[in-house]
Amino acid sequence: MQNLRINLVKRPNIKITADIFETVSEETKELGENQFLVEQTHMSLDPAMRGWMEPDTTSYIPPVNLGDAMRSSGVGKVVESNNDDFPVGTQVAGMFGWQQYIVCDAKMAKAVPAEIPAEAILSVLALPGITAYQGLYNVIEPKSGETIAISGAAGSVGSLVGQLSKIEGLRVIGFAGSDEKCAWLKEIGFDEAINYHSENLDEIVSAAAPDGIDCYFENTGGAVQHAVYNNMNAFGRIAVCGMIGDYNTDKPSAGPNWINIIRKRLKIQGFTMPDHQAEWPAMAMKMGGHLMQGKIQYRTHILDGLESAIEGINLLFSGGNNGKLIVKL
């Protein structure tokens, strides 16, 4: 089988540009014992991928080696198999990378029911789900009646956090980068949706959270971070999941002064999805249940063809995507 693969061949110089990738065509390897061949059908593009391109070896996950396929999660179908647990036709999810065909063993792929659309897996049950679940339940520990603020709220993680928070009885304030995204947030049940490009963001936040903010799910950094931080209540909890506003810059923005961390006894905690793979089953049960009952909405932004990933990934950093960014192969 002929495999098309996109390798990372250079580290990005701040912005992601086409010249850091190389598309190669190669023969797929013969299947060994217990191996099976996956044809990837849907590939996820996520903000965290920007960090994986960096040479920083002290981060939570090793960098993508130059010359290797760019790392990504995806969904596919088994098309050849030497493994009885993964017969031909099985729908599988895994970290398949930017390529069409992947020779897998059992550790590299997870079978998922064929009835669940690939889009739902990548938007709700895979990375976004485990990330939202971990940050909300294990870091923030939300209590009914509290107020939560969410930056990057129209993103795949943010929109899940908001909907889970509504289910838990919180007042939910979302921040997004366009009026269209804000309208969608209201549609899926957010109490308040604020365009972060607004002037006087501090005042808008104070007005939207007259009783202050107890919980903050941070996906972006920037002006929202400061406006929310200034309105935190005593014993507030902040889960730091992403800083998308600072990934593509050589001058990361300054954080807030720490005096309020003392005065308000705040807890600010970072977390990353790969540390919490063990919670996948609990998350999938909870999310799957909500999804089937129609309590969780998602929307997707579909790109067409493997090579659309190269330019398409930048939509995440310009805010140009409306929904979970997925490449359909």
- Interface ranges with its own copies (CB under 8 A): 51, 56, 58-60, 218, 221, 225, 234, 240-243, 246-247, 252-272, 275
Q: In degrees to the nearest 10, what's the CA dihedral of 145, 146, 151, 152?
A: -30
Q: How far is the CB of 236 from its own copies (least distance, A)?
A: 10
What is the DSSP code (8-state) at residue 257? Answer: P
256 vs 288 by CB, closer to its own copies: 256
Residues 6+ apart with CB under 8 A from 244: 47, 152, 219, 220, 221, 316, 317
Structure tokens at 223: 């002006």
160 vs 326 by CB, closer to its own copies: 160
135 vs 312 by CB, closer to its own copies: 135
What is the DSSP code (8-state) at residue 169? Answer: T
Q: How far is the CB of 184 from its own copies (least distance, A)?
A: 26
- At which residue do the structure tokens 């972006």 appear? 220
Question: Measuring CA to CA, which residue among 62, 93, 68 is closest to residue 326?
Answer: 93
138 vs 200 by CB, closer to its own copies: 138
Q: How far is the CB of 268 from its own copies (least distance, A)?
A: 4
Q: How far is the CB of 76 from its own copies (least distance, A)?
A: 29
143 vs 235 by CB, closer to its own copies: 235
8 vs 240 by CB, closer to its own copies: 240
Q: How far is the CB of 262 from its own copies (least distance, A)?
A: 4
Q: How far is the CB of 265 from its own copies (least distance, A)?
A: 5
190: left (phi over 0), alpha (psi -120 to 50) or beta: beta
Handedness of CA 157, 243, 57, 24 (dihedral sign): positive
Instruction: Give me the residues paired with residue 78 across strands.
Output: 38
What kind and span of H or E run contains 210?
A: none
